[in-house]
Amino acid sequence: MDSATKRIAIQRIRRLFRLAREIFHEDPALAQRYVDMARKIAMAARVRLPREYRRQVCRRCKSFILPSVNCRVRVKQRREPHVVITCLNCGKQMRIPLRRSKEKLKS
Express each pLDDT in 18-65 by its tens digit. Answer: 999 999 999 999 999 999 999 999 999 999 999 999 999 999 999 999
**Rounded distance, CA 74 to CA 8, Å?**
35
pLDDT score at 78: 85
> What's the pLDDT band for 105 if we cut at 50, 70, 90?
low
Domain interval for residue 34? 1-57
How is 14-41 classified by DSSP, letter by letter?
HHHHHHHHHHTTT-HHHHHHHHHHHHHH
- For range 69-91, the mean pLDDT: 92
Q: How many domains does the chain have?
A: 2
Question: What is the pTM for the complete model shown?
Answer: 0.84
**Rounded distance, CA 16 to CA 21, Å?**
9
> What's the pLDDT band for 17 if we cut at 50, 70, 90?
very high
CB 71 within 8 A of CB 87: yes
Out of 20, 39, 57, a domain closes at 57
If asked whether residues 45 and 75 sit together in one domain, one would say no
